[in-house]
Structure 1
Amino acid sequence: MVTTRGTEDIEGIGSGVGRTALMVAAARAIEATRPDSLVRDGFARHFVRAARASGEWPVHWHDVPGGAANPLWGRLGRYFGLRTRVLDDFLLGAVRAGAGQVVLLGAGLDSRAFRLAWPAGCPVFELDRPDVLAFKRQVLDELGATATAARTTVAVDLCEDWAGPLRDAGFDPDVPTAWLAEGLLLYLPAVAERRLVSTVDRLAAPGSCLAFEVKLGVEHPGGPIYRSAKDQIGVDLTALFDAEPRPDSAGALRARGWETSVRTPFDFAAEHDADLVPEHQDALASNRWTFAGKPVRR
């Protein structure tokens, strides 16, 4: 078990968006222990227990008050489990189809570089804030974790220039790439989202693909999930979401020649028998997952 010794010296992981990274890790830990689990992440619980901010949160399905009826750890947690599974499949499918490298934008406390069966030597670049990556490194080092990919971390602010640091870290813009922005764009200012999409387009070789998550709007803060997050773990999610009108990033990619498909989480819930259907004042109803590919011109 990882202790909390030293991890709280890293400013930021227990507050703001850093706290949401811990929330998602707790959800993945709980998902791994469900009898109908969609994804197994053996590292997630260690991240949760290593931070004082989340040390008392549940990390096992049996410890979730109310089980599936709990709006936070039951419903939103299941959403995160489904999202993880779908995007795991997306990345592995892209690599098997010819993508030669992977870039995780806003990698957070995800452990894909350690838990997925990557082809030997597959480069995986993880981009996130320095405090998140430092906390992650401490926990993984204490566990003695060994990456299953050729993992490189790049400490950046994704609202600023990150293309230069990524290239300096060994990213090759001539190689088809699988890009992922999971749980990221809804926290960025609109101008930063537009810049990020434009940068991905500029760096992506033909044959690259991209998946990202957006919200079409921000729901009423009194909805069950938002109220539960605030009551149970002290996270006001709606205060963290950027309130500006959101860009049409899927449309921007299409205008640049990408092929796109926009899906709802409920589409995938039906495919994976995940027991997620729309509800009243639903925090998930405006979520969309976009999958885009940059064609190879012949």
Structure 2
Amino acid sequence: MVGTTHHRTGVEGVEGGVGVTALMVAAARAIETHRPDALARDVYAEHFVRAAPASAGWPVRVQQVPDGDANPLWGRFARYFGLRTRVFDDFLLRSVHRTNARQVVLLGAGLDTRAFRLDWPPGCVILEIDREAVLAFKHEVLDGLPAIPRAVRVPVPVDLRDDWAGALADAGFDTAAPSVWLAEGLLFYLPAVAETYLIDTVDRLSTAGSALAFEVKLDKDLLEHRDSPLYTATARQIGIDLLDLFDRGPRPDSAGDLADRGWSTSVHTPFDFTRRHGRGPLPERNDALGGNRWVFASRSRP
């Protein structure tokens, strides 16, 4: 299949820039899936990796990596993505069960397969927002697999720099009902003004009982870690210079902005969850993950 024209219609969406990072995260999820102590399992992930020419030769099992877990990219960084997947999986399921929210919005959904692999309660609708080309690639791969969603899945093809709130409304989003939102591995690619618009819009569209999780980087100067093993290995092994993709302007305090609007917020380092689960990355010197924060917010009043 790789090298044929079978997947050419949508493959452009993951062949350059931020799109390739979706393949990197999919490869990490595949590696995590095949670990005996996997924190999360995604049986679809390796099919995305194999279907795109940009990633067809990447490992999907840690045994395919010559230095295994000692590899900064496919060891430590992949473990990070495995941990992140598990933590945000838990957040989504906990939120829909606790609040009775039945609409889940994945902002910048990429190659997310949560609609297919999580055990959703009856009546859940999963709205996946991303660029049309990314969603087209995902559909082409999944259409060739025995993949059946476990909730109503609604793709919303729109760029998050455009009027995605209007597209969400057109897709049937109900502003009167509570909702659960996830922005995973997204905000640091967006200009600060787009992050502010996204948080403002989530706030405007969320009624009492809604919840939101997102990931940010607090580094004052991202270039401080330019020579970190994580960044240098990623650039050398798969040709992705993450620092060229990140927006390096000053970032808004989105967690603080939500708290000012009455949301209950908590901010965690990934290492907090490494300690909780007993596996995942721990702090090290010159650490490109040191500024990463996972933010969880809930709205108890409109």
TM bucket normalised to smaller: over 0.9
Give CA deviations for 1:79-114 in whole Å, capped at 9, x if unaligned: 000000000000000111111210000111010000
Per the TM alignment, residue 275 of structure 1 is displaced from its structure 2 partner at its CA by: 4.1
Which residue does 1:169 correspond to in 2? 171
Q: How far apart, in 1, do the equivalents of 2:301 and 2:94 lie?
A: 17
Per the TM alignment, residue 60 of structure 1 is displaced from its structure 2 partner at its CA by: 1.0
1:194 aligned to which of 193, 196, 199: 196
Per the TM alignment, residue 4 of structure 1 is displaced from its structure 2 partner at its CA by: 5.1
Which letter maps to 2:269?
T
Per the TM alignment, residue 155 of structure 1 is displaced from its structure 2 partner at its CA by: 0.6
Q: Give the superposed CA RMSD.
A: 1.3
Identity of paired residues, percent?
Answer: 62
3-state SS in 2 of match to 1:143: coil
8 A contact 1:39–1:84 mirrored in 2: yes
Per the TM alignment, residue 220 of structure 1 is displaced from its structure 2 partner at its CA by: 2.2
2:216 aligned to which of 202, 214, 217: 214
Which residue does 1:285 correspond to in 2? 290
8 A contact 1:2–1:139 mirrored in 2: no
1:185 aligned to which of 167, 173, 187: 187
Q: How far apart, in 2, do the equivalents of 1:160 and 1:23 lie?
A: 25
Give yes or no for the alignment of 1:90 onto 2:91: yes
Which residue does 2:274 correspond to in 1? 269
Which residue does 1:47 correspond to in 2? 48
Q: How far apart, in 2, do the equivalents of 1:27 and 1:248 lie?
A: 29
Which residue does 1:137 correspond to in 2? 139
8 A contact 1:4–1:50 mirrored in 2: no
Per the TM alignment, residue 127 of structure 1 is displaced from its structure 2 partner at its CA by: 0.3
TM-score after normalising by structure 2 = 0.96
8 A contact 2:3–2:53 mirrored in 1: no
Residues paired across the two proteins, number: 297
Per the TM alignment, residue 160 of structure 1 is displaced from its structure 2 partner at its CA by: 1.7
Q: How far apart, in 2, do the equivalents of 1:176 and 1:2 lie?
A: 42
Q: How far apart, in 1, do the equivalents of 2:200 and 2:226 lie?
A: 31
- Structure 2 gaps of 5+ residues are none
3-state SS in 2 of match to 1:53: coil
Q: How far apart, in 2, do the equivalents of 1:2 and 1:54 lie?
A: 10
Which letter maps to 1:244?
G
Distance 1:138-1:3 versus aligned 2 partners, 3 A rule: farther
3-state SS in 2 of match to 1:52: coil
Give CA deviations for 1:37-78 in whole Å, capped at 9, x if unaligned: 111100000000000000000001211221111000100000
Q: How far apart, in 2, do the equivalents of 1:127 and 1:17 lie?
A: 15
8 A contact 1:127–1:153 mirrored in 2: yes
8 A contact 2:13–2:137 mirrored in 1: no
2:246 aligned to which of 241, 249, 270: 241
TM-score after normalising by structure 1 = 0.97
8 A contact 1:4–1:49 mirrored in 2: no
Which letter maps to 1:88?
D
Which residue does 1:6 correspond to in 2? 6
Give CA deviations for 1:175-209 in whole Å, capped at 9, x if unaligned: 11110000000100000000000000000111100
Per the TM alignment, residue 266 of structure 1 is displaced from its structure 2 partner at its CA by: 0.2
Per the TM alignment, residue 237 of structure 1 is displaced from its structure 2 partner at its CA by: 0.4
8 A contact 1:4–1:52 mirrored in 2: no
3-state SS in 2 of match to 1:54: coil
